[in-house]
Structure 1
Amino acid sequence: MSKNPSSGSPLASSTQPAQRVVAIVGFLLFVELSSGFLQGYYSPLFGGMIEHWDITDAQITWFVTAQTLAAGVSVPVLSKLGDIFGHRRILRLTVISVAIGATLVALSPSFPLALLGRILCGPLAVWLPLEIAIVHSRLSLASSRKAIGMLVASITLGAVIGSISAGFTSNLENFTTVLLIPVVILLLCIVAVFVAVPESTERANPKIDGWGFAGLAVFMLLLLWGLQQASQAGFASLGTLLPIIGAVVVFLVWVWWERRAEVPAIDLSLITQSKLWPAYVISFIVGVIALGTQTILMTFLAGDPARLGYGFSMPASKLSLISLVSIFPAMLSSIAFARIAKRLGLLKVLLIGLSAGFIGQIGMAVLNTSLTAIIVSLIVSGLGVGLLLGALPALISEEAPLDSTGIATGLYNSLKTLGGAVAGSAFGLILASFVMPEYGAASLGGYVTVWIVCAASCLVGLLVLPTLRQNRPQTTVIQLPLDLEEKI
């Protein structure tokens, strides 16, 4: 493996005109905007999908589950293949796969066929790791940080645009036309990645650890399946225990194999070093607070205070506006993290992000009787999450060897997703344990417990952070043209 000069690949960057670099980042921003669009577009259409395919409320949950399982299996494998064969090459293949999947969803006469389309959409989650690898390979440290922040912000902005667009298109008479809207966006993505996106410059050992890849895929599939079952039947059910136990067994065998493989699928000695493992722990925590609580706040705010003793009886229209209260601060802070990191360093950015997340979650737990206090807590927490979402992939891509950037950032994405899945299952069980039988809803104590767990997770991240050791940036690098940093 090649050593990692913490400043990215300045030699490659210095040979490109500034306009070309700006164009590269611009097209990648469009790809991530499209990724966010797809993630935000489908959720508001679930009611229409139930009617379109004549399915039940329980069955529609598989629309999300199928894509999540496919993403959990494909992200580590595809990000590693990007390190071996080229990140642009794999990005092209995955964009085509997602486009085919979205087309299949739109044109499917039956729900099972639509689920096959959602499985083909699973590689959507690997776009960001592949793009980060391309950016880190082609740009300097400062430029790549700015680009990563903008990529993360583009996902959030795309999700907002997708959700709003679904609100307008859902009124169309032909539901197939409604579902074809994302296909148009994806066709533009195919043009972008084939015409305007360059290839990364580093390659890993071309030998493929087939058994290692297979073991990792089976582990992720079993674990995510078990967590999905836990969210419905609890952790004590046989349907939950069997896949989770199976996942543990597969993981132990996989670790044994990887430690003996000549060229392992994932270099365990790399990710267990002090410069990376704390970042991965914090990545899991980000998933807990950012993904695991997505429905918690909505059900709390929708609660009738006269009947349940909490909530604000908010209709769906107001709930969508409240969700933007945390989304936009996160988007802004993810863009701004590079400037903050330039002055304070990445570790202090993580410190600020975790502290803001802790304060926001504590605010939700303690001041939940005031809507104003909740909004302030959401803004503070959103700012913290945005800093973490920008800084973590930047730090990981800088600390990993250049020929392992794809798999290093792919693991970040997988752990973030896993954190959300674990939290979603655990939080569902917490609320169920606090349920009020006469109302069929959780009591205030359940929600407070969830927010305290999130605050405690941030506290764990703060305790882990001091163990993170960064490489010192090398000073003997070829400098970029002076106007390049300004344009990017």
Structure 2
Amino acid sequence: MAFRLRKGGPHAADSAAATRAHSQPRRFLGHFNLPSDEQGQHGRKDARETNVSSTKGSGLSIAPGIPLKLSAVVGFLIFVEFTSGFVQGYYLPLYGALSQRLGISDADITWFVTLWTLSSAVCIPVLAKLGDIFGHRRMLRVAVLAVLVGVCFVAFSGNYALVLIGRILTGPLSVWLPLEIAMVHDRISGDRARRSVGLLISFLTIGVIAGMLASGVIAGLGWNFTTVLLVPAIVTGLCMIVVLFLVPESTVRSKSTVDYLGFLGLGASMVTMLLGLSGIQKFGISSPQVLLTLFACVVITVAWVFWESKTSCPAIDLKLVCSRLMWPPYLSAFLYGTVMLGTQTIGTTFLAAKPEEVGFGFALAPGLISLLSAGLTLLSCIAAAIFAYVARVTGMRGVLLLGVCLGAAGLLLLVFFHDVFAMVIAYQCLAGLGFGMLMGAMPALVAEISPVDQTGIATGIYNSVKTLGGAVGGAVFGVILASTVGPAQGASIDSYRLVWIICIAALALCVISLLFMRNDKAPQAAKQALETDLAR
């Protein structure tokens, strides 16, 4: 799909107010201020010159005659993202009780997580792209409504098949954040947008913690289990009211059409890939069903890439994804997702291992492990919330490099001092701060440098590649741990050390990819380079 970024376009004479509302420059990798007479030359182009259109209306309002402060809108979006985290975290402590209620095995309950992951993988790019075309608030309403129906299915259904249908319906939870980031960048830019995105991600993580704590407390009250499961529905219902009545619509639309075949191929590729990767951990990499699934994924992906490269309005603009400006953050997201998401289970099993039996670990109880995890998560919240302030000094690339280096430093401590508990705590602190900065700065960067009419899909792709990195990392690390046997017929310390070394190597590649990112002191050059790449 051919398009041009915002350049000169003095076609705002229809309304001075509309010019002020829709012509503010998008700041790319740093802080720069344009003189007022240049703003129109760097604003959003008129629909007559590009395939980007703006809805009418210059004021920020939820309905005609009802003005709304921008800070209030960001606050409402923060509550929406808190709800997303709350729903995601609420079910984690309830898997055992849910298995007993439905009369299923521990192996069967894994589908409760697997189907949600698959549904999320499909929903993120589809709804994010539709948000760029039809409006981000409109798609956010659809996503919240789907989640509300899904959590009600989980609460009221006594049949496991209906519960799984409910989990599939909650898949759109993962697209809330890309849609919200697109709405933020539709209104503001630069440092203020970065701080807003940081708060969104911070409260997403806080919501996860709040959901886990709330479910544990409420389940312990002895209430009817249906009532316990209704809590996410109540919170999501409040969120639905906020989205319906208190969040304004974005103003920019892409004039792209819906690539139905492209979305179908993308969904099939993602589903077969994730099923194959999860099958590696259960059945082994040499299992016929795993090999067949991965082969099907390769065939579907090749066919999908061929189709997307030929169609005029692709579901995913591969030229944009592979452009010099966009591929470094996307590759970095995949790599740090491999480390951050792929090692979650491994960290728990290492801390719980009994040194008198396997020769390593600290034999920590689940409660203490949860406390350590909560501490790491809180540090991530803080780092995500403050990254914009650090970026004032270091620039966005500097924040990302700092986050990667902090994570790598923590992993180095595990490689050499894994038997010293104080060093494990130091790792938790470094990793929490480092990954928190990456969680906040990376999507903010992607939103800044993406074309104005593709902010939703660009941020959605970031979420997808990060999740895919976590799936790949989990599969690879699971194979490594299963391939080496220690003294107690479990994974040896050498296998854990190998996993940490691979993670350090992945973060080193992340540093290299970020060094290819254009310097954030040359935003105009960055924009011109992206225009050139897309015009080829």
Tell me if the contact between 2:26 and 2:189 (Cα under 8 Å) persists in the aligned partners.
no
Give the aligned partner of residue 409 of structure 1: 459
Render the CA deviation track for 1:421-480: whole Å, top value 9, x for unaligned.
Answer: 1111111111111233x63421111211111111111011011111112674469xxxxx
Give 1:325 deviation, angstroms.
2.6
Amino acid at match of 2:189: S
1:232 and 2:282 aligned: yes
CA distance in structure 2 between the partners assigned to 1:95 and 1:116 by the alignment: 16
User: What letter matches 2:71 in structure 1?
Assistant: V
Question: Over residues 157-201 of structure 1, what are the superposed CA-to-partner deviations in whole Å (9 max), with x where a residue is unaligned?
Answer: 011111111111122241111111100000011001111111112
Q: Aligned equivalents of 1:369 and 1:104: distance in 2? A: 46
Q: Quick one: which amino acid aligns to residue 374 of structure 2?
A: L
- Contact kept in structure 2, 1:6 and 1:473, CA below 8 Å: no
Change (3 A) 1:205 1:256: same
Relative CO higher for 1 or 2, CA cutoff 8 Å, sep ≥ 6? 1
Deviation at 1:124, TM superposition (A): 0.6
Query: Which residue is 2:82 aligned to?
Result: 33
Structure 1, residues 307-350: CA drift from partner, whole Å, max 9, x if none? Answer: 11111111111111111231111111111111111222101111
User: Which of 14, 21, 27 is the equivalent residue of 1:7?
Assistant: 27
Tell me, yes or no, if the aligned pair for 1:259 and 1:268 is still in contact at 8 Å. Answer: yes
Give the letter for the 1:32 counterpart.
E
Post-superposition Cα deviations, 1:238-276, rounded to whole Å, max 9, x if no partner, equal 111111111111111111111111111111111111111
The answer (yes or no) to whether the contact 2:189–2:448 under 8 Å persists in 1 is no
The residue aligned with 1:258 is 308
SS of 1:55's equivalent?
Answer: coil
Partner residue of 2:227 out of 136, 159, 177: 177
What is the DSSP-based 3-state SS (H/G/I as helix, E as strand, rest coil) of the residue aligned with 1:203? strand
Alignment equivalent of 1:114, drawn from 124, 142, 163: 163
Q: Is the 8 A contact 1:75 1:123 kept in 2?
A: yes
CA–CA distance in structure 1, aligned partners of residues 515 and 386 of structure 2? 23
Greater share of helix: 1
Q: Could you tell me which of 376, 399, 403 is aligned with 1:349?
A: 399
Q: Are 1:295 and 2:315 an aligned pair?
A: no
Distance 2:4 2:180 in 1: 20
In the alignment, structure 2 segments of 5+ residues that lack a partner are 7-24, 29-41, 45-53, 62-66, 526-536
Determine the structure 2 residue equivalent to 1:481: none
CA RMSD of aligned residues (A): 1.9
The equivalent residue for 2:499 is: 450
Q: CA deviation at 1:407?
A: 0.6
For residues 70 and 371 of structure 2, the distance between their equivalents in structure 1, rounded to whole angstroms, comes to: 36
Residue 380 of structure 1: how far off its partner (Å):
0.6
Contact 1:10 1:140 in 2 (8 A): no
1:322 to 372, 381, 384: 372
Q: Is the 8 A contact 2:144 2:239 kept in 1?
A: yes
Name the SS for the 1:149 alignment partner.
Answer: helix
Q: Deviations over 1:40-76 (max 9, x none)?
A: 1111111101111010010011000010000111111
Match of 2:408 among 329, 334, 358: 358
Q: Which structure has the greater CA radius of gyration?
A: 2
Count the aligned residue pairs. Answer: 474
CA-CA distance at 1:23 after TM superposition: 0.8
Name the counterpart of 2:240.
Answer: 190
Do the aligned partners of residues 339 and 10 (structure 1) sit closer, same or farther apart at CA in structure 2, a change above 3 Å counting? farther
Q: 2:471 aligns with which of 393, 407, 421?
A: 421
Do 1:2 and 1:403's aligned partners in 2 also have CA atoms closer than 8 Å?
A: no
Contact persistence 2:336–2:510 (CA under 8 A): no
Is the 2:27–2:523 Cα contact (8 Å) retained in structure 1?
yes
Report the residue type matching 1:33 in the other structure.
Answer: F
Q: Tell me which of 370, 395, 402 is aligned to 2:445.
A: 395
Conserved? CA contact 1:75–1:414, under 8 Å: yes
CA distance change for structure 1 residues 408 and 128 in 2, over 3 Å: closer, same or farther? same
Task: Say if 2:170 is the partner of 1:150.
Answer: no
| 1:208-231 Cα shifts (integer Å, max 9, x gaps) | 111111111111111111111112
Q: Is the 8 A contact 2:26 2:43 kept in 1?
A: no
Aligned equivalents of 2:326 and 2:333: distance in 1? 11
Counterpart CA distance in 1 for 2:326 and 2:193 is 18
Deviations 1:7-62 (A, max 9, x none): 38989999549961111111110111111111111111111011110100100110
Rate the CA distance shift 1:432–1:450 in 2: closer, same or farther, 3 A: same
2:294 to 244, 249, 266: 244
Q: Is the 8 A contact 1:28 1:151 kept in 2?
A: yes
User: Conserved in 2, the CA contact under 8 Å of 1:10 and 1:138?
Assistant: no
In the alignment, the residues of structure 1 paired with residue 493 and residue 215 of structure 2 have an alpha-carbon distance, to the nearest angstrom, of 32
Percentage of pairs with the same residue: 43
1:259-310 Cα shifts (integer Å, max 9, x gaps):
1111111111111111110100111122112211111111111111111111
Task: Return the alpha-carbon distance in structure 2 between the equivalents of residues 38 and 450 of structure 1.
Answer: 31
**Distance across 1 between alignment mates of 2:363 and 2:334:** 32
Query: Is 2:342–2:469's contact at 8 Å kept on the other side of the alignment?
Result: yes
TM-score (norm 1): 0.94
1:305 corresponds to: 355
